[in-house]
A and B are shown apart, each in its own frame.
Chain A
Amino acid sequence: MSTAATADASSSGDTTEGSVRLLTLQSEDGEVFEVKETIATQSVTIKGMVDDDCATSTIPVCNVTGRTLAMVIEWWNKHEIGAVSNEKELKEWESQFDTIDDKSDRDDVYDLLMAANYLNIPTLLDCCTSAVAEAIKGKSTDEMREFFDIKSDFDEKEEDALRKENQWAFEN
C-alpha cells in the first residue's frame, strides 16, 4: 500500500535507519508495520509515547485493523512535510476520503475515524468528520436513518412531541 509501511513481522523494537528512528506498530489483528518516527508522530498519541520514551518496543494499536492502519500510514506519508509539492495535489488526493457514496465507503470512513480518534491525528479526524457531515447535509431525518441504519427508539408520540417542540427546524 505504501513504501514506508512493510508488513514484516520479523523485526520489532527500536530500529534505526540512517539517523531516522523506526517505530513498530501492531494492529489489532496482528499485522506489524514499521514506520519512520518523524511520520508516525503526526499522531499525538504516538508523539506522547515517543516523548515519554515509551515507544521502544512494539506499539499496539488497539481497535484498528491492519487494513485501516495501512490507510492511516498512507495518510501520514502524504502529509509529511515536503512529501507532496503543492497544496492542490494534496487536496486532490484527500478528496478520495471526503465523499461517502455508498455504505462500504461509509464503513471505511468509520474505521478511519475510530483510528484517527484513537491515535489522535487532527488532520485525519477533521477530514473524516467533515466527510460524515457532508453525507448528512441535505438529508431528511428519514433519509438519514436509511443511509446510516439508525433505528429510532422513540414511540410515535415521543417523536411527534419532539418535532413539534422544534417545529422551526423542520419547516420550509
Chain B
Amino acid sequence: MTITIKVEESNSDRISELSDPILHHIFSFLPFRQVVQTCVLSKRWEKTWQSSQVMEFDRTMFDRGSRYHYLYVNIELNRVLQRRAKELFSCLVRILQNRQCGDMISFKKLMIDMDLFNDPEFRTLLDQCICNAIGCNVKELKLKLNSFSSRLCNLPEVVLSSKSIEFLESKCCKLELSKSVIDLSSLRNLCLNRVYVDDHMIENLVVGCPLIEDLRLVSCEGFRSLELFGLSKLNGIKLIDNSDLRRVVIKTPNVSSLSIGGPTRPREIKLGFFRNLKKLILSCAFISDNWLHRQISKLPELEYLRLHKLYGLKSLKLSSPSLKMLLILECTDLVEINIGSPNLQFFDYQGDIISLSLNALSLTKINLHLCNHILDARWYAKYVEFLAKFYDFSEVLYLQSDMVENMIVTRELREILPSPLSTVKHLNLRLVTMSIHLIIAKLVDGLLWIAPHTKTVSIEYGNLDKTSFKFSFSYKKQVIYDGKTVNCCKSFPISCWQHCAEKVELEINHEYYRGGKNTKMYILKGAEFMEQIDAVCSIF
C-alpha cells in the first residue's frame, strides 16, 4: 500500500497493490462465484481468495437462473449441483486446512445455506469444512441446511467447544454430545431452528454459554424444560414453536426483549422480575387475565407489547406509563380493553368489535382490522361507535378490511349518526379482497363519511401485485354552496365534504411482484368528481 507516483492514466496494475483488507472489502460486494474466479488472475489474487475473511454461499450459486422447485424432478441437474458442491467443499477443506498450517488463523464468517445432499461423501466434506473453520477460529458460523428426510445430521461436536465462535446459527441438525463438554465461552448469539436438542443437552448448552446475549430456539424438538438463571448478559430471548417444551422458567435479570409463542406452546411459564424488559411478545398461548396482569406489573420499562392469538384472555387493563406500542391481534376470547397508558403512540387491533375504553393522549398512529360476520344495522352502529373512540387521538388511521362493504356505512345510519372521525387527517385502507374497480367511488364516499375533511385517503389492495389509489383533497374554506348553506351541512357541526371539496388529486400505483411499477396522476375538479373517479378507475 505504498503508492507515491501518480501517473496520469497508468497502465500499471494498481488493483493488485491494494491491501488484502481492501480487496476483501471489494469481494464483499461480489457474487461468491466471481470471487472464486479471481483466484486464477495471479498468485497475488489466489492468496487473497484463500485468505478471505467471509465465505458465504447458498445453492443458487451452483445453478444460475434456474428456479428452486423443479430441481428436484430434474435428476441430471441435481447430480451436477451435487458435483459442484463437492468441488467447492473439497477446495474449502484444503484452503482452510492450509490456513491452519500457515499463520492465517483468523476467519470472520462462514455461512452455508443449502440442501443436504443425501450423499455420505458430501456430508463428510461438509463436516470437515466446518471442523477446519473452527480450526481457523471462525467467529460467525451459520449453517442453514435444508434436509428433506427426517434424519437430521449431527453437528460436529467440535463446534460446541469452540472458544472463538461468537455467533452460531444452525438449522436442521441434531446436537449430541458424547464426551466433550460444551464450552462456548465467546458465544454471544445462538439461533437454533429445527434442531433436535434433548433436556440434558439444553442444560449443558445454557451452562456452556456464559456470555450469551441473544438466544433463539425456533421449532426445535427434544427438550421438555428450559430454565434460564443468572446469565447477566442475556438480552433477547425468543422461544417459538418448540414442540416438546412444556415448562419455561426465565429468571435472568437483564432481558430487554422476550418472545414466547406457539403453535405448540409450553404449559407452564414462570417469569421473574424484569426491570429492563422493553419488548414482550406472547403468541398462541392460553393465559388468564390475572397471569398477564401480574406479569405486566413486574415490567416497569415495558414499551412494546404484542399479544397474538392468546386464548383465555377476556379482559385487558393496561395503565403502564412506559408503554409506547400495543398490538392486540386475534385474541378471540377478549371482550373488553381498558387502556390508560399516557405515552402510548401506536395501537394495533385486530378482532371483533368489543368494549374499548381509551385514554391515551399520545396516540399518533392507529391500525384497525375489524372482523365481522354479519353485516346488519346493529353492526354498523357498533362500528361507528367503536371508531368514534379514536376521535380525540390520532390524525393517522389505518384500517384493514376483509370486505369492501364494511367500510360503507349505510345511508340510513349516515343520516342519524354523526361522522365518527372528523379529526382524522390521513385515512389509509388496506383491502384483502381483489378487484374493486367498479365501486371505488362508492368506497371513497363511504370513507369520506367516516372521516370528513381528511387530507388524504389511500386505498390499497392485492398481495403480490399491489394496487393503490391515493386521493389528496383540498377544501374550500366556506361551506356556503350556491349562495346559501345547504341542508346536508346544517345538521352537523362539521360541514358535508361534498360541498366543500375543491380539488382532488389522484395517484394510481401498480406495483408488480416481479418488479416494475406503474404510476398515473389525475387531477379532478368540481362537485362531480365522484363520477370522474369511477371513470378513471375503470379504465385503469
Instruction: List A residues at the B interface (Cβ < 8 Å).
Output: 28, 63, 65, 67, 103-104, 107, 110-111, 113-114, 117, 125-126, 129-130, 132-134, 136-137, 140-141, 144-145, 148-154, 159, 162-163, 165-172
Contacts and interface: CB of A to CB of B under 8 A. Distances in A.
A92 B31 CA distance: 25
B62 A152 contact: no
Given A129-B29, A150-B42, A171 B84 contact: yes
Interface residues of B, number: 46
Given A154-B42, A166-B39, A125 B15 contact: no
Contacts of A63: 1-4
A162 B40 contact: yes
B43 interface: yes
Interface stretch (B19-27, B284-292, B401-409): B19-27
B41 A129 contact: no
A132 to B, nearest CB: 5
A134 B27 CA distance: 10
Nearest to A103: B9
B18 interface: yes
A107 B62 contact: no
Contacts of B22: 113, 117, 125, 129
A157 to B, nearest CB: 12
B38 A130 contact: no
15 contacts: A63-B1, A103-B10, A107-B7, A110-B15, A130-B26, A132-B15, A132-B26, A141-B37, A148-B13, A149-B13, A150-B42, A166-B39, A166-B87, A168-B85, A169-B36
A143 to B, nearest CB: 11
A169 B57 CA distance: 12
B14 interface: yes
B39 A125 contact: no
B33 A169 contact: yes
A63 B91 CA distance: 38
Kindly list the 3 A-B residue pairs having the minimum CB-CB distance in the complex, ordered from nearest.
Answer: A133-B29, A168-B84, A169-B36
A141 B38 contact: yes
A111 B1 CA distance: 11
Contacts of A144: 38, 41
B11 interface: yes
Contacts of A168: 62, 83-85, 87-88
B64 interface: yes
A152 B91 contact: no
B92 to A, nearest CB: 11
Contacts of B11: 103, 149
A68 to B, nearest CB: 8
